[in-house]
Amino acid sequence: MRKYFSAAAVLITCMLSFCGTVSAQDTVETFSENQIITAVTYYNERQFPKAAEILRGVIGENPDEDAAHYYLGLTEFCLGNTDKAESELKEAVRLDSANFWYRYRLAMVYSSAGKQELTLAMLENLIKDFPDKYDLYYTLVELYQGLGQPEKALETLSQIEAVFGVSDMIAIAKFDLLRRLGREDEGYDYLEDFNKEYSSVQVLSILGDRQLSMYNDSSAVALYDEALDLDSSFTPALLGKAEAYRITRKYDKYFSVLYDFASRDDVPLENKCSYLNALVRSVDQMFLKSFGPQMDSLVNICNGKYPGDSSVTFLSGIYYYAKGDTPKAKACFRANAEKWPESLSAAATYVEMLMYMKDWDELVAEAEKAAARFPSEPAFWEYAGMGEYNRGNYGKVIDICGKVLSIAPSDSATILNAYTTMGDMYYHTGDKKKAYKSYDKALEINPDYLPVLNNYAYFLSMDGKKLKKAYEMSRKTVELDPDNSTYLDTFGWILFLQGKALEAKPFFKNAVMLYGGKESPVVLDHYAEVLFALKEYDLAFLYWNQAKAINNGQIEDLDSRISERKSQMKKEGK
């Protein structure tokens, strides 16, 4: 049976047909071949149903046509019918067990179906029969690793070395496996032996990293230099050398290497921006202050080589923001957003930066512009809502939430956030009925959403209504997040309103003493009220004084209530 269909085979078939010299049996075979070729054309054009229909017809006429079974197996796989694909490929293998591709594709179908043991057996047998198929070994290595058999993977890599010779790719793969097996020293010894006979920038850099980790900076630099002699643009060696100088505080040499790194034409821009972004994010203000001119030079080098490039402009913005130059940072992010108006990431970065800068007016304006350009992205309206909230425009925040709901009706997380925000805003505007209705809608989406449960419970307690319902919601918050001072405060306050001051006390004590509640005048005030009710007056006024010291208008009647409590004590003769 014919197994492969080249252009030459097609031409020969056509010639025989025209000459009229084919036998009846040859006519059947020629018809099958032509049908299979047509099916393969449909397969290549991704018209899988048509290909499958033709191939089934061929098999119906000639069930022993292994090529038809093979291509039908591939087609069924593309149609998502894994079981049928497996069945057809197994039949192709049965009919021609010597065909490499039949067996290899069957192994891949086994793998996609999660039948890793069958995949493994198939690949192992293929390697026995086709030992010169290089890729099979690496597929087998990956499979062994996926099955948690690193020793087998290691043996296979040794087979590759024996059959195809040593290479740095194999050496590094063996090193990684040895490390995973906890045999790190053996892995480094292996690389050392490799390095005595062969030259590899990757191996030299790994050995340099090891020396650096052992604080042998001179040895590390020597290895990095050896790697750079082979490839002067190899980024790991360049940055390894720079790091060796940085940790030994040889900052003149450190920045000298970085200047070379940033200036080189043969180092990818992506590598430069990745490293410099990480550097800017990792160093503290003292570093930026001490080495401001050097860092400025690095950023200027990049801007000079790649003027207007979005990744460099982004890097510049991050740098200026980190060093506290917010006007320059803002200008960089604005430039990116304006130069690349079709870029979602550029718009999002600028809007996020305005949020961090608390530039609420511009945040609202830019977020609304971005929302118009990217109408399917609700996040921009959420940023606009944040800006309006900080401007005190609660009604506009509610309107924005309505827009968000219309944009993302099937996004549960977005809808949950919108209803939560609407609930908070309606309460701020005094429409408690709509606030509670919004919270109810949020809890329909996620009954355990703690921010809603807490706010709902707290507002009910402030109204002095439905304390039982408030208690149940608040109890859930402290059970699910017992380390949250806000949730502890709400639950403790509800207990207090229910006349359970003694039960409330430990919740406030934990909130204040353990979980940061002492930074909130509201929590301190509530705790003081509980202590006053328990007649622990000295402690109560201690916390009231702490609340007064940090109260910035959050509690409008704090001073007057403290005076009332003092008058109450005097009347009681305390």
The answer to whether 238 touches 267, Cβ cutoff 8 Å, is yes
Instruction: Go through the domains of the chain in sequence order and give each one's CATH number.
Output: 199-267 (1.25.40.10), 360-447 (1.25.40.10), 466-574 (1.25.40.10)
Give 80's Cβ-side CA count (13 Å radius).
0
Structure confidence at residue 478 (pLDDT): 96
Structure confidence at residue 573 (pLDDT): 65
- 12 has pLDDT over 60: no
CA dist., res. 515 & res. 291, Å (int): 38
458-502 per-position pLDDT tens digit: 999 988 889 999 999 999 999 999 999 999 999 999 999 999 999
Query: What average pLDDT does this structure show over 177-189?
Result: 90
CA dist., res. 543 & res. 376, Å (int): 49
Nearest partner of 171 among 142, 145, 197, judged by Cα: 197
The answer to whether 174 touches 188, Cβ cutoff 8 Å, is no
Most confident of the following: 113-122, 135-144, 298-307: 298-307
Task: Report the amino acid identity of residue 83.
Answer: D
Those residues with Cβ within 8 angstroms of residue 397's Cβ, 6 or more apart along the chain or in another chain: 385, 388, 389, 421, 425
68-72: long-range contacts, CB 8 A cutoff, minimum separation 24: 68/32, 68/35, 68/36, 68/39, 69/95, 70/99, 70/101, 70/102, 70/105, 71/36, 71/39, 71/40, 71/43
Nearest partner of 89 among 75, 79, 80, judged by Cα: 75
Whole-structure pTM value: 0.63
Structure confidence at residue 442 (pLDDT): 97
CA dist., res. 343 & res. 262, Å (int): 26
134, two tokens: 């290089």
Structure confidence at residue 124 (pLDDT): 87
| 501-513 vs 521-533: helix crossing angle, rounded to 10 | 150
Structure confidence at residue 3 (pLDDT): 37
14-25 per-position pLDDT tens digit: 322 323 332 333
Query: What average pLDDT does this structure show over 435-451?
Result: 97
**SS3 of 340-372:** CCCCHHHHHHHHHHHHHCCCHHHHHHHHHHHHH
Structure confidence at residue 544 (pLDDT): 94
Which stretches of 223-322 are assigned E, i.e. beta strand?
none
513-544 per-position pLDDT tens digit: 888 989 999 999 999 999 999 999 999 999 99
For the chain, give the percent of residues with pLDDT over 70. 94
Ramachandran sector of residue 273 (left: φ over 0; alpha: ψ -120 to 50; beta: rest): alpha
220, two tokens: 């590390």
Question: Token pair 């890793």 is at which residue?
Answer: 116
- 552 has pLDDT over 90: no
